[in-house]
Structure 1
Amino acid sequence: MLRFSTAGESHGESLVALISGLPAGVPVDQEFLDHELWRRQQGYGRGGRMRIERDTAHILSGVRHGKTIGSPIAMTLANRDWKNWEEILPVGEGDAEKHKAVASPRPGHADLAGALKYDFKDARYILERASARESAARVACGAIAKLLLRALGVEVASHVVRVGSAELSREASFAEIAAIAQREDVLLACVDPESEARMKAEVDQALRTGDTIGGVFEVVVHGLPPGVGTHVNWDERLDGLLAQAVMSLQAVKAVELGRGVTAAQSPGSKVHDAIAYEAEPVSEDAGKFTRFSREHNNAGGIEGGISNGEDLVVRGYLKPISTLRRPLASVSFETRETTKAAYERSDVCVVPAAGVAAEAMVALAVARLVIEKFGGDSLRELHRNFSSYCEQIRAF
């Protein structure tokens, strides 16, 4: 089984990423890994921390001569800001006078709930691990998963469909969405310049008023054949696994598969994707898996917990960042008196970055199911099994 885990704190020495269960022989492109990490740091509305960090994945094990070797891959991502925090957050006892307490919890963050859970008298240690800085390690793991999927012809990309009340005004093709990853100026990662300009105005308004703003990103998986995931057990459904993967990201408060939200208020005749059949055989060159086709993709590529051959479409709804430059009311941990919430250097809008992190989580979830279904200790074996299955469903 494909598994991954992360360790590290926001202002610690480094983040650590560990991923295991990959077959041997997957090409690992260091430039691609670092570009994925760079993408997570971009976007209009990011804060000062992103001017300090220059994330790069330092691979310690599991990759030799540019390919996976079947053993666990360990990576570190150094925090450049650590030099400013060494005496504040030492591993040893250190000087208590230099500790920088988070003395009043921020509404919307893990501060208070975590302090109560772990019996801390301030929220510093909660903040350090709960921070979205941790998602950089997930992006590193997700980049490896993307490279595995790419070797099978499966691609994962994301774009922003809403910031505040400004929304993308048209449908986007996968080619348009995938092209965002190659931009030098990510801005708000929207495929439509006019819609992006309206989104930018929303961020500017939040910045002027000392506020923050959320939005909606969409992750699309292109090239996945039908049959990934299953209906037979609740914890093996593709839709459930994708929802958990994206919901686990910091600040994501809702997940939508396909047109799930609008489907809830529409008649079935307007929701379900009618099925057609083409008499002519399907060739691999056509990029199709079966003779069955859909006019629409309201289901988001999933029916009954199983991929149906259409693009997987997953949306994440991101709440505004909890740290405000005009802090909300809170309570002092020490005196229990009303005060303002603590302020930590933060962003105004992170919707594009959240989309990149969600790409990683979706890629990891899909790669896990692909490995489970097709098996193989080497990429060559996995590819052979995958290709054989695709031939089978083309002939169905």
Structure 2
Amino acid sequence: MLRFLTAGESHGPALLVIVEGLPAGLPLATDYINRFLTRRQHGFGRGGRMNIEQDTITILAGVRGGRTLGSPLALQIANRDHSNWAAIMSPAPDADLDSRRVTAPRPGHADLAGALKYGHSDLRNVLERASARETAARVAAGALAAALLEELGIQIAGQVTGIGPVSISPLLLPPPELRRKVQTSALFCADPGAEKAMIQAIEQAREQGDTLGGTFAITVSGLPPGLGSYVHYDRRLDGILAAALMSIPAIKGVEIGAGFNAARLPGSQVHDEIFYTPERGFYRRTNHAGGLEGGMTNGEPLLLQAAMKPIPTLMRPLRSVEFSTGEPVAASRERSDVCAVPAACVVGEAAVAWEIARVVLEQTGGDTWEEITARFAGYRRRTGERNQL
């Protein structure tokens, strides 16, 4: 069973990831993981924290000679900014608990609900872990999964499709081509004209002390039919992927294929008609289902979209109350981004990669990379043969 845990606070010494369930013998390069982490830090609209942190991974356990051992992987991402917070974030009894206290909860953040749940009087005890900084650890875990999938011929790519009032349709390209198209974009957007309008919207929000959200799309190709299952609700891949994307901070909506637009159209314009030729087998001319039917992949490319709300830390803060007294105050301000949709897109890629890798390993079983590759190739052949009458 593939699973991971993360630990660490935003201004603590480091973020930690423990990954269990990867087979022994999987080729793994540190540079591959670091490229994911670097992309997560980029994107027009990011704040000052990205000028401090230069995320790289340190593998502490589970890999030797460039291949996994089958034992748990331990990964570390150092927080360079911790040197400025060492006394405040110290685990020792003499920690500086008075400096940088946070007592004015931010609307839209975990501050208030978290403090009420865990009984904290200093909201820093909430925001340090609720911070999106934790997603760096999640991206590292997802990069491991993406490396596994690429070895099996499964490719994943993301693109930003909206910032604030500017929105475009996803560009439907194979992931390698899509990655090449967005790699020079400051917003990971495949449309240069739309990107220009998005940048202008971000600049305007920055001048007004405001923030912007947006949308991004994830495409996955190379998936055989039948991954996931219809037999139990918790094994349906559409539900699994929606939950993974919704678990990313600030994500408030997920679409698969035609998504919400499918609710506004008759069935004759939504469902993907099935065709057959001896050369191609069963195939579709449209992909409104987004590659998923009945909780399973159907052999078409996977298409998911997610909507991110604006970041809740505003330089022109909203109204709030003092946590201890209830008196009206302005919400707390922390160093923050104006827009982090490009970063969320990379986190989305990692989240989708993780869940796809998990169902692939469930489908194949096996403790070694040799077993996994042989069994997955066998599954491809079997479903491919069934795809031919």
Taking structure 1 as the reference length, the TM-score comes to: 0.95
Judge conservation of contact 2:108–2:312 (CA < 8 Å) in 1. yes
Structure-to-structure mapping, 1:273-288, within 5 angstroms: 273-280=272-279
Instruction: Report the Cα distance in structure 2 between the residues aligned to 1:315 and 1:97, rounded to whole angstroms.
Output: 41
Aligned with 1:213: secondary structure?
A: coil
* Residues 104 and 122, structure 1, Cα contact 8 Å, conserved in 2: no
**CA distance in structure 2 between the partners assigned to 1:257 and 1:123 by the alignment:** 36
Match of 2:135 in 1: 135
Distance 1:336 1:97 in 2: 21
The alignment partner of 2:264 has SS state of coil
SS at match of 1:349: coil
Structure 1 residue 172 displacement after superposition: 3.4
Which residue does 2:14 correspond to in 1? Answer: 14
Residue 393 of structure 1: how far off its partner (Å): 1.9
Equivalence for 1:125: 125
Secondary structure of 1:395's match?
Answer: helix
Q: Deviations over 1:56-109 (max 9, x none)?
A: 110011111001111111101000000000011111122546531111000000
CA distance in 1, matches of 2:324, 2:20: 44
Among 280, 285, 297, which residue is 1:307 paired with? Answer: 297
- SS of the aligned residue for 2:379 comes to helix
Pairing 1:49-198 to 2, within 5 Å after superposition: 49-96=49-96, 98-168=98-168, 171-174=171-174, 175-179=176-180, 183=183, 185-198=184-197
Q: Deviations over 1:189-223 (max 9, x none)?
A: 10110111111111111111100000001111111
Q: Is the 8 A contact 1:169 1:195 kept in 2?
A: no
Rate the CA distance shift 1:327–1:235 in 2: closer, same or farther, 3 A: same
Give the aligned partner of residue 217 of structure 2.
Answer: 218
Provide the C-alpha distance between the structure 1 equivalents of 2:95 and 2:143, rounded to a whole number of angstroms: 39
Distance 1:298 1:261 in 2: 11
Q: Which region of structure 1 is more displaced relative to structure 2, 384-393 or 237-246? A: 384-393
CA contact (8 A) 1:274 1:295 kept: yes
Offset at residue 171 of structure 1 (A): 3.3
What's 1:356 paired with? 346
Give the match for residue 382 of structure 1. 372
The CA deviation at 1:180 is: 5.0
Q: Distance in 2 between matches of 1:170 and 1:75?
A: 33
Distance 2:55 2:75 in 1: 12
CA 1:169/1:246 → structure 2, altered by over 3 Å: closer, same or farther?
A: closer
Q: How do 1:283-362 and structure 2 match up within 5 A?
A: 291-362=281-352
Distance in 1 between residues matched to 2:309 and 2:378, nearest whole Å: 43
List per-residue Cα deviations over 1:35-55 (Å, max 9, x = no partner).
110000000000000000010
Give the C-alpha shift of residue 170 in structure 1. 6.5
Q: Residue 377 of structure 1 aligns to which amino acid in structure 2?
A: D
Once residues 170 and 136 of structure 1 are traced to their aligned partners in structure 2, the CA distance between those partners, rounded to angstroms, is 25
Q: Distance in 2 between matches of 1:84 and 1:178?
A: 36
Deviations 1:315-335, CA, capped at 9 Å, x for gaps: 111000000000000001133
1:19 is paired with a residue whose SS is: strand
Q: Secondary structure at the match of 1:310?
A: coil
Change (3 A) 1:41 1:268: same
Say if 2:159 and 2:170, in contact at 8 Å, map to a contact too: no
2:381 corresponds to which residue?
391
TM-score (norm 2): 0.97
Give unmatched runs, 5+ long, in structure 1. Answer: 283-290
1:365 alignment partner in structure 2? 355
C-alpha separation in 2, matches of 1:394 and 1:147? 24
Equivalent residue, structure 2, for 1:286: none
C-alpha distance in structure 2 between counterparts of 1:256 and 1:95, whole Å: 45
- Is residue 4 of structure 1 aligned with residue 37 of structure 2? no
Q: Contact conserved, 1:106 with 1:322, CA < 8 A, in 2?
A: yes
Query: Contact 1:160–1:352 at 8 Å: present in 2 too?
Result: yes
Distance between the aligned counterparts of 2:172 and 2:189, measured in 1? 9
Kept after mapping to 2: 8 A contact 1:22/1:68: yes
Deviation (angstroms), 1:177: 2.2
Query: Residue 358 of structure 1 aligns to a residue in which SS?
Result: helix
SS of 1:56's equivalent in the other structure is coil
Distance (whole Å) between structure 2 residues aligned to residue 312 and residue 54 of structure 1: 32
Distance (Å, rounded) in 2 between the aligned partners of 1:97 and 1:297 = 55
Q: Deviations over 1:373-396 (max 9, x none)?
A: 011211111111111121122222
2:272 aligned partner, one-letter code: D
Once residues 304 and 169 of structure 2 are traced to their aligned partners in structure 1, the CA distance between those partners, rounded to angstroms, is 18
Q: Which amino acid aligns with 1:194?
A: G
Tell me the equivalent position of 1:256.
255
